[in-house]
Structure 1
Amino acid sequence: MQKKLKINNIIKNIKNKEIYNIEPYRKLAEEISGVSYKIKSDLYLKKTSENLRDKAKAGIPLEELIVEAYALAREASNRVIGMKPYDVQIIAAIALHQGRIIEMQTGEGKTLSAVMPAYLNALTGKGVHILTFNDYLAERDAKWMGPVYDFLGLSCGYIKENMSIEERKEAYLMDITYVTAKEAGFDYLRDFLATEVDELTHRPFNYAIVDEADSILIDEARIPLVIAGSVPEDGDNYNYLAKLVKGLRVNIDYETDQYNNNISLTEKGQMKVEKLTGCGNLYAPENLQLLTKLNCVLYAEKLLKKEVDYIVRKGKIEIIDELTGRVADKRHWPDNLHGAVEAKEGLISKSKGMIMGSIALQYFLRLYPRLAGMTGTAVAAINEFAEMYRLEVAVIPTNRPCIRKDHPDLVFTHEEAKERALISEILRVNSTGQPILIAACSVEESEKLSEALHDKGIKCNVLNAKNDFHEAKIIAEAGSYGAVTVSTNLAGRGVDIKLGGEKESDKEKVAAKGGLYVIGTGRHESSRIDNQLRGRAGRQGDPGESRFFISLEDDFIKKYEIDELISDKYYPQNQNSLIADIGVLRKLDGGQRIAEGYNSDIRRQLWKYSYIIEEQRRIIWEKRYDILMDRVPLTLLSNKCPELYLNNVDFVGRDVLNKVEKQITLFHINKSWAEYLDYVSYIREGIHLVVIGGEDPLHKFHVATIEAFKEMMDGIEAEIIQTFTRVNITSEGIDLQQEGLKGPSSTWTYLVSDNPDKFSRLPFLIKSTKHYVKGTLFSLRSIYEVLLKRIKKLVKMP
């Protein structure tokens, strides 16, 4: 009864039951909590788990097993790792099984909550993936929770970046696999290059739980995962163009948009470039490649900033993630922009390669028949979760009330005034021993701030894109007595900051000082990021504080011209004084919502451009997979070259000939798809030029890609036939290497920072809101379905 009352109180404390509705889970949570295995032996629990697995494999619905399975997993967690899920964690686990995105505050135990639905769904033997934010978390969580699964008779593994194919295959065959979303996606791309069934790493997808769901499903969803193959260098050289654009003058030869995100030549600049290059009309069709490279070099030189957008480390360009402030692991810009940045920094280009396959994280994650997620900030992205994935959000209350003090932002007119106030506050708080976590907005700012603190005699740990390999250790100790940690944005995400340090040795002492004090040095483009920073403090009912220091000269404020929303009457006479009026904070909130809307529109815009390509990818990949798995008979050669085909059947036999046709077909599908992706990238980078002629770029893009896809499919048939007529077929088949039918000698994977502001030249489409057609993605689906039918009619696979 006491347990029932506790859960009822949790429900009653929810303010808005329509949005924060966990009522459907209440009765089930009570039923689970009412089942006790406390007096049962370990052997009894293991036998019960075995029986549950037999039932699940026999086809009994998991909904009929959930009560017993969750109660069992709860008891096993308590016995094996000494952690018994709270009632709110059971509610979270129910929501995860039902395919929800759950919002749980930092430190409330998302990792443990995921064990119950992972265990339940793994009982079928079809596998469960828990998709983490980075390799460290994949390994940590698998080793941490693995003993629970092992106790219950299930296997658990994890995947890290440098593992071999055999190690990956073994890990994916486990009942529960912890792996980053990108590594799972890269393995999916590698499978596309497989020519034999035993080369496949993945088995069919079943159920996935996405950790840090807002980051992976929303912020990084548009980023394409890429697998590239080595190709001979074509002699591209950006050095000449890099030297050329250095001499161009702002507002004379080129101009930028109001957000300083896009750049374009003026008429004078165009004439200057045409004269210097001798290319004639720069905008003529034959100069499209030159124009694309020039735009990328211009953007790299004038708008991309070292130490803000990227760093140079070990002779390579490493991109800084704009949201986390860390080096974006294995991230590239497309070849043209990446090569331009390398030329700017005087580096030898290492980015060139033929793209063999690509898929955006958004589309990869939608391959899972059942998907759920967990994060500390989901409500702010509730509409995009619904639009992009048709996933609902469930907000889980805290186990203990949050007592963190979120102080009002301090706003200054000038950067210098903000910095003085910020340093003064850090000195004041540090003198008391209260630990401080300072979240800077860039690498440059974090280093500048750490130097200023050093000059004042304060020792601090610095965590930014240059030393992210120390991330977990530094963040784990950020709650130690007297600690001062300077970090960029979300560094250390997924790692709890415990009061008193990782071992909580001084917890009471730190709690008495007010707990962890989180300081933000500026607002971010998403309120979710700000809330994630605040959530670093006040975990599990601990005390804590948060405050943001803002200047009207901050990059974010200037980028979106938010300062223009604030009347001069609010400005203090002394620039060192605060802007005290509460209305200013409302203006800042409004400006942040403008930025969120802008970025949301960007994601929708990219969705429109990528949708058709994704449908084309599905068509060709499904056909290729059917051929690889011998699910469809290959009849092209027997129909198109009957005489030659029959002669070879008599010579080598039908089985050998079928193998040869399969090898030739798979090779040309891969080769043609790679060439198609290369062609599409050029179309996309130059499609904005049709605006000059008054045409709709999106429509033209779709028409061009549909036509190119048809040509590619027809070309595959022709190339298969041509290859068949020339290859030397023996009783052993064909020598793939000798016949030039081997794939690339080496491949590598990376992510493309697919941001229209930075390289795709698509911002012209969303630059003015008066041209933006309002409506949800669902209202656009009918248009795309018509286009998809056109594609399918054009497709003729062998």
Structure 2
Amino acid sequence: MFARLVRSIFGSANDRALKRHQSRIAAIQAWEPKLAALSDEELRGKTADFRARLAQGATLDDLLEEAFATVREASRRCLGLRHFDVQMIGGMVLHEGKIAEMKTGEGKTLVATLPVYLNALPAKGVHVVTVNDYLATRDSDWMGQLYGFLGLTTGVIVNGLSDDQRRAAYACDITYGTNNEFGFDYLRDNMKYRLDEMVQRPFAYAIVDEVDSILVDEARTPLIISGPTDDTSDLYRRVDKVMAEFVKDPERFEKDEKQRTVNMTEKGGEDIERLLAEAGELSEGNLYDAVNVTLVHHVNQSLRAHVLFKRDVEYVVRNDKIIIIDEFTGRMMDGRRYSDGLHQALEAKEDVTVQPENQTLASITFQNYFRLYPKLSGMTGTAATEADEFAEIYKLEVVEVPTNVPVARKDEDDEVYRTAMEKYEAVIRLVGECRARNQPCLVGTTSIEKSELISELLKKANIPHNVLNARYHEQEAGIVAQAGRPGAVTIATNMAGRGTDIKLGGNADMLAKAEVGNNDSPEYEVALARHMAEVEAAQPIVKAAGGLFVIGTERHESRRIDNQLRGRSGRQGDPGGSRFFLSLEDDLMRIFGSDRMGGMLTKLGLKEGEAIVHPWINKALEKAQKKVEARNFDTRKNLLKYDDVMNDQRREVYAQRRAYMEAADLSETVEDMRRETIHDMVHRAIPENAYAEQWDLEGLEKRVRDVLGLDLPVQAWGKEEGIDEVQVRERIEAAADQAAAAKAANLGPDFMRMVEKSLLLQLFDQVWKEHLLSLDHLRQGIGLRAYGQRDPLNEYKREAFALFNNMLEELRERVTSLLLRLEFAPDAPPPEPQPVRVTDMRHPAPGNGMGGDYEMADAAPAAPYGAATAEAARPAAVDANDPTTWGATPRNAPCPCGSGKKYKHCHGRA
């Protein structure tokens, strides 16, 4: 009550922020007549003037009013668009590093030009992040005219560019691109071997378009770059044959739709062992014996594929591939793959080519990637529902910017039916009514399966319509743009076509482009004029009919998705309406609603074909959605807590790796590694306060010979009177230093420096890759620690830290051993680091906050990662076919036979 009283007196935080920004509008308007009097050349010269003032000590805030007014004038001249005052407020919110919530149709693309121009003046680079390549290309071409007019350069990052093209795009003042491309470029840059091969500049400022989609919906999904592992595709097919028989009996498993999990019952466990044994897959022990751990993994993933994943809902089969459907937009995500063997299980289930699994080489979540930017802001039509998450995870405040014209859309209460078919019949009736009065309607669905069901019902009713589900973005935009024509009926899976406004009467520009194709030709101008006349004639018809009517066929788990659908109607003060239809069979009602609701409604006299409409129903549904959103937020927070552990290590590794690349001379680093390796060897053999008879000098002598390649009489030293650990270590160090100096003198100092840097970077990558695999394995099983009354997160932190220290120790030992044992011919070139051939770029989305569900894949041909490294790092004196020449290879080092496997997994297994 007290908070309500304070708000009534002082206004909300949002009101106060808007009032503060509103006070600067007059100053911006005061510049308008002065700038309008300038010539194009003089207006363009303002950019050089601003940069000169910044160099003299002015701040961006000092320039804001004049810079915003300059952009407004330039936009009016080259785009024919003048920023509204509310758009100026949105630009100020973005410049402050906050999230601007602006309704659909308020011109967010144009709003971004204000802070982008201002923040591009220091020439450090501004990134504008979009959700797909189409929008990135469209916005860079469209707004690039404005930036070019003002003397700034614009680049765009899309899939398929070469490194040189990417480097040029990042060097521009403003760079447009997708969240995936920016993230993968960051990971790839930190796998390069020379600074001049990197494409990105240091981060400065980013504006994230559709910020809720990228930083919330996609936050669960770490970007992962992978390389190949052993191929087990045939095992997936064999297990799938067994699973197809197993799932015929529903008593063999239990499915939890709320948690998206499936587990075998006791009966199922017995049956699967019998079926696997009959198929010849289970040859020894029971299914859960250690020898069958791989088989258990394949069985579990195959069970998930058969029970939890439905064709044409979560994925489609197209061109011998499983293509995932985005649950939020309904688009096909070609190239994205489920992780942890799930995609392979689906490929086996649908009898398409099973692609090999991959191993992580580098990864980062969007949460941690975007927190790398010193200044971050975002814009969307729906952010207020997730304001707590933006504040807690990203330290971003949400400011709701008012519309330029008050919203005239009428949002009607939901209608609830008993069965889904009754609901769909009501939807078809309403569509028919809208079409009869020439009112366009947009029908929103939650899956391809349901959109096709409604399409069939509309066909039976002889109602012409367009269906939007999982097509290319350009086609989506074209169809959505025409969804406002009189009597048009469009079915959209969730909110496909985001970024394109539905204009009442239609979109003349897109109609002309669809007809002619080239907007530079004379034919285009003729077609445009004709279609503009058609649109102008259609607009009053549509407005008189009530504007665009949005029909939701189901409530989504997230209120934002429902709001995005509603937001397509009523843009810029246009008339419009919306209504959602639900049934007790809908997923949200069935899984999260009250079990007693159906019985209660029946007792109240709800008959077949009748609907219940009441504001209380809306409130109950909103509570259910809030519960789901809170659970998803907890999942993302949980994922972030685990990823923060890896993120600290990743930042340390990438910073150290960059320091190695920048250094001209790494001889001191190599020397320190050599001394630490020797110290560790001696300390293990001669523990502190141990008696001389407890020393393991025989083992130490063998380790010195195997690791350092030195034949020293360590055992004889132990017989000397008064010798201690320090003296033993100093003698070994002196011998190792002498051997290193002799090698450097033989090869020449410059050549030796190149060898040291080359091998150090390659071995660093190798141990980091192995460390990531160890962390993956640790994370998969860490949740079980809770059964022992131990906090899994604390256990993960402790063990991850120990693994990191082991990684550094392994690196020191490998660098020391290889540099002391390497032999080169006098005229041999130094080993060049081999770039990693990436086979997979993943983007997994976890169902439980611990792992991942889907990934981004690249079809690049693969060479086994580590094969080139093992070849380059192998001493010349070692014969791959003669194990007696290998010495004592470290267990985690590549096997000298050249297989690319670790020694402990190859010849070192014995």
Structures share a fold, TM > 0.5? Answer: yes
Match of residue 605 from structure 1:
638
Q: Which moved more, 1:125-134 or 1:43-52?
A: 43-52
Asked whether the equivalents of residues 338 and 351 of structure 1 are also in contact (C-alpha less than 8 Å), the reply is: no
Match of residue 803 from structure 2:
708
Match of residue 352 from structure 2:
347
**Cα distance change on mapping 1:664 and 1:489 into 2, 3 Å:** same
**Cα distance change on mapping 1:403 and 1:64 into 2, 3 Å:** same
Task: Name which one, 1 or 2, has greater alpha-carbon Rg.
Answer: 2
Q: Residue 400 of structure 1 aligns to a residue in which SS?
A: coil
Asked whether the equivalents of residues 33 and 87 of structure 1 are also in contact (C-alpha less than 8 Å), the reply is: no
Distance 1:160 1:412 in 2: 45
Question: After superposition, what is the alpha-carbon deviation per residue over 1:591-617, rounded to whole angstroms, capped at 9, x for unaligned?
Answer: 111111121121122122222112111
Q: Does 1:527 align with 2:527?
A: no
Question: After superposition, what is the alpha-carbon deviation per residue over 1:767-795, rounded to whole angstroms, capped at 9, x for unaligned?
Answer: xxxxxxxxxxxxxxxxxxxxxxxxxxxxx
Shift of 1:329: 4.5
Instruction: List gaps (5 residues or longer) in structure 1.
Output: 1-11, 762-798
**Cα distance change on mapping 1:44 and 1:216 into 2, 3 Å:** same
Matching residue's letter, 1:585: N
**Cα distance change on mapping 1:733 and 1:416 into 2, 3 Å:** same
Distance 2:284 2:641 in 1: 34
Question: After superposition, what is the alpha-carbon deviation per residue over 1:631-688, rounded to whole angstroms, capped at 9, x for unaligned?
Answer: 8845343342533432232233323222221111211222222222223223333334
Distance 2:351 2:784 in 1: 30
Asked whether the equivalents of residues 566 and 587 of structure 1 are also in contact (C-alpha less than 8 Å), the reply is: no
Q: Which moved more, 1:74-83 or 1:708-717?
A: 708-717
**Cα distance change on mapping 1:39 and 1:358 into 2, 3 Å:** same
Match of residue 195 from structure 2:
197
Asked whether the equivalents of residues 157 and 176 of structure 2 are also in contact (C-alpha less than 8 Å), the reply is: yes
Shift of 1:695: 4.3
Q: How many residues align?
A: 747
Asked whether the equivalents of residues 222 and 754 of structure 1 are also in contact (C-alpha less than 8 Å), the reply is: yes
RMSD (Å), alpha carbons: 2.5
Q: Does 1:620 align with 2:653?
A: yes
Asked whether the equivalents of residues 331 and 753 of structure 1 are also in contact (C-alpha less than 8 Å), the reply is: no
Q: Does 1:262 align with 2:267?
A: no
Distance 1:730 1:617 in 2: 37
Match of residue 55 from structure 1:
53
Matching residue's letter, 1:716: L
Distance 2:764 2:201 in 1: 22
Instruction: List gaps (5 residues or longer) in structure 2.
Output: 1-6, 509-534, 675-735, 854-910
Asked whether the equivalents of residues 335 and 351 of structure 1 are also in contact (C-alpha less than 8 Å), the reply is: no
Matching residue within 569, 576, 587 for 1:544? 576
Matching residue's letter, 2:210: E
Matching residue within 761, 764, 769 for 1:666? 761
**Cα distance change on mapping 1:29 and 1:731 into 2, 3 Å:** farther
Matching residue's letter, 1:216: I
Distance 1:581 1:637 in 2: 74
Shift of 1:267: 2.9
Asked whether the equivalents of residues 684 and 760 of structure 1 are also in contact (C-alpha less than 8 Å), the reply is: no
Matching residue's letter, 2:109: T
Asked whether the equivalents of residues 230 and 745 of structure 1 are also in contact (C-alpha less than 8 Å), the reply is: no
Q: Does 1:402 align with 2:407?
A: yes
Shift of 1:472: 1.3
Match of residue 23 from structure 2:
27
Distance 2:852 2:460 in 1: 43
**Cα distance change on mapping 1:466 and 1:498 into 2, 3 Å:** closer
Q: Does 1:227 align with 2:253?
A: no
Q: Residue 210 of structure 1 aligns to a residue in which SS?
A: strand
Q: Does 1:336 align with 2:344?
A: no
Shift of 1:243: 2.5
Match of residue 750 from structure 1:
842
Distance 2:506 2:468 in 1: 17
Q: Which moved more, 1:171-180 or 1:562-571?
A: 562-571
**Cα distance change on mapping 1:551 and 1:736 into 2, 3 Å:** farther
Q: Does 1:682 align with 2:777?
A: yes
Distance 1:281 1:714 in 2: 38
Distance 1:187 1:160 in 2: 11
Question: After superposition, what is the alpha-carbon deviation per residue over 1:281-313, rounded to whole angstroms, capped at 9, x for unaligned?
Answer: 544555544333322221111111111111111
Question: After superposition, what is the alpha-carbon deviation per residue over 1:577-597, rounded to whole angstroms, capped at 9, x for unaligned?
Answer: 002344333222221111111
**Cα distance change on mapping 1:381 and 1:200 into 2, 3 Å:** same
Shift of 1:420: 0.7
Q: Residue 444 of structure 1 aligns to a residue in which SS?
A: helix
Asked whether the equivalents of residues 231 and 744 of structure 1 are also in contact (C-alpha less than 8 Å), the reply is: no
Asked whether the equivalents of residues 521 and 549 of structure 1 are also in contact (C-alpha less than 8 Å), the reply is: yes
Q: Which moved more, 1:203-212 or 1:265-274?
A: 265-274
Shift of 1:722: 3.0
Distance 1:15 1:424 in 2: 48
Asked whether the equivalents of residues 76 and 148 of structure 1 are also in contact (C-alpha less than 8 Å), the reply is: yes
Match of residue 392 from structure 2:
387
Name the % identity: 39
Shift of 1:231: 4.9
Q: Does 1:589 align with 2:622?
A: yes
Question: After superposition, what is the alpha-carbon deviation per residue over 1:392-416, rounded to whole angstroms, capped at 9, x for unaligned?
Answer: 0111000001101111111111111
Asked whether the equivalents of residues 412 and 577 of structure 2 are also in contact (C-alpha less than 8 Å), the reply is: yes
**Cα distance change on mapping 1:722 and 1:290 into 2, 3 Å:** farther
Distance 2:171 2:634 in 1: 39
Q: Residue 405 of structure 1 aligns to a residue in which SS?
A: strand
Asked whether the equivalents of residues 562 and 591 of structure 1 are also in contact (C-alpha less than 8 Å), the reply is: no
Q: Which moved more, 1:717-726 or 1:401-410?
A: 717-726
Match of residue 629 from structure 1:
662
Q: Residue 223 of structure 1 aligns to a residue in which SS?
A: coil
Matching residue's letter, 1:379: A
Match of residue 169 from structure 2:
171
Q: What aligned pairs does 1:90-105 form with structure 2 within 5 A after superposition?
A: 90-105=88-103
**Cα distance change on mapping 1:347 and 1:50 into 2, 3 Å:** same
Distance 2:284 2:439 in 1: 64
**Cα distance change on mapping 1:719 and 1:81 into 2, 3 Å:** same
Question: After superposition, what is the alpha-carbon deviation per residue over 1:62-82, rounded to whole angstroms, capped at 9, x for unaligned?
Answer: 111112111111111111111
Distance 2:152 2:9 in 1: 36
Match of residue 301 from structure 2:
296
Distance 1:98 1:292 in 2: 48
**Cα distance change on mapping 1:708 and 1:293 into 2, 3 Å:** farther
Asked whether the equivalents of residues 292 and 686 of structure 1 are also in contact (C-alpha less than 8 Å), the reply is: no
